[in-house]
A and B are shown apart, each in its own frame.
Chain A
């Protein structure tokens, strides 16, 4: 890979964030990160989708394009307190506001069962997901 090709510094994902790593063609006017075409905001121009999402208080209704997803993601994190899981070599300080969960926990954990009795939740259909009990 050529060292002259810059990589997009935005993160893909919703519940778990991962590096985009596509070739970057733009620089965000606010955060100064390198950004690929997909993460470049059509409106307002000159910003990455993350900064455009942070500039608006509410997510935009409409076409469910990447702009919608990023604004909804920002809205969701900031209103529900959800802490996304974070994959990447280092935690980008840009995402510190979301209190991301990087590889910072040991595997001490209960092994099985039940936060609640929940006999209603067994039968979830869905193709070859194979998630039913049977």
Chain B
């Protein structure tokens, strides 16, 4: 019943999406210029649908497994008890449950988007809504296909043997977000996030002849931010911030003087062993690190 309710809610959520939002889900890509508020209005329901669909898929997977186990168990019982005709509806019901859940799962799987949308894009847009003028547009380019989609494969190592396993390493490069915006204080912001994913598939045949495959991931998320802060409003701080910078020891920072602005470029790598999105805090810390390196200039015109 819970699954039916969850799946029905997910379907209802999909029904409430407009044509443009459905197009984003179908294409799994979005590139455009809109105000931060309009981007949140456009992508927020898509992110909420994706989260609900993920919950539905997890639930349907359980029902599919339960249906298969139920079919086998009740089928065995029907045969063993000799009352096959009487008990026949039970394995048939199991088949129906497994099939129904499987078909729904497959439909929802086609609509699957990268978790990066809800995990990182939406918090970033919420911060940009505060930082940009309501009429000023933000440019954003999103690739919401799965990080290990075949199109993102850049290298596949030949099969090797290691510790009784057959091992295949694949490297994926997922340049899934870039964007730019002008902030209310006159600063120009550009950012990008690129994930490099090493997928390792280890296959082993156990003594009973059953083949088992384990998949492991190592991910490096390369986050880059450049903030051009106008000289009229900001001056470089006399000393680089010490302590509490939050960007980590491995972060790279570079400051360049340009025409009428200081451009602060920052980059960092966030490592993980799953495909889950990096915490939005990583990107927000980079932006904050740029602002930590300047002070408001005395007597500057207020934006």
Contact = CB atoms under 8 A, between A and B. Distances in A.
Contacts of B255: 112-115
Interface in B222-259: 224-226, 228, 235-238, 240, 243-244, 246, 251-257
A115 to B, nearest CB: 5
Interface string A60-92: 000111101100110010001111111110000
B131 A13 contact: yes
Interface residues of B, number: 65
Interface stretch (B149-157, B160-168, B293-301): B293-301
B130 A13 contact: yes
B254 A122 contact: yes
Contacts of A101: 295-296
A89 to B, nearest CB: 9
Given A64-B123, A115-B240, A118-B265, A102 B131 contact: no
Contacts of A104: 296, 298
Interface stretch (A1-9, A29-37, A125-133): A125-133
Interface stretch (A14-22, A40-48, A50-58): A14-22
B180 A129 contact: yes
B254 A111 contact: no
A109 B237 contact: yes
A80 B279 CA distance: 15
Contact of B302 (A63, A87, A115, A128): A87
A121 B265 contact: yes
Given A72-B126, A116-B253, A102 B180 contact: no
Contacts of B127: 14, 69, 72
Contact of A105 (B126, B129, B246, B298): B298
Contacts of B129: 66, 69
B84 interface: no
A117 interface: yes
B265 A129 contact: no
A111 B257 contact: yes
B66 interface: no
A131 B251 CA distance: 19
A47 to B, nearest CB: 19
B244 A124 contact: no
Interface in B166-195: 178-181, 183-185, 188-192
B175 to A, nearest CB: 8
B267 A118 contact: yes
Given A15-B131, A87-B185, A108-B238, A126 B192 contact: yes
B78 to A, nearest CB: 47
A38 to B, nearest CB: 10
Nearest to B47: A64
A56 B269 CA distance: 31
B139 A128 contact: yes
A129 B190 contact: yes
A125 to B, nearest CB: 4
B45 to A, nearest CB: 10
Nearest to B227: A131
Given A69-B126, A131-B228, A124 B298 contact: no
Contacts of B257: 111-112
A31 to B, nearest CB: 19
Contact of B285 (A66, A80, A85, A107): A80
11 contacts: A15-B291, A85-B295, A86-B296, A105-B235, A105-B296, A107-B235, A126-B226, A127-B141, A129-B180, A129-B226, A131-B265
Q: 3 nearest interchain CB pairs? A: A129-B180, A118-B252, A126-B190
Given A14-B284, A103-B299, A108-B238, 7 more contacts: A12-B184, A16-B185, A64-B44, A82-B246, A123-B224, A127-B179, A129-B189
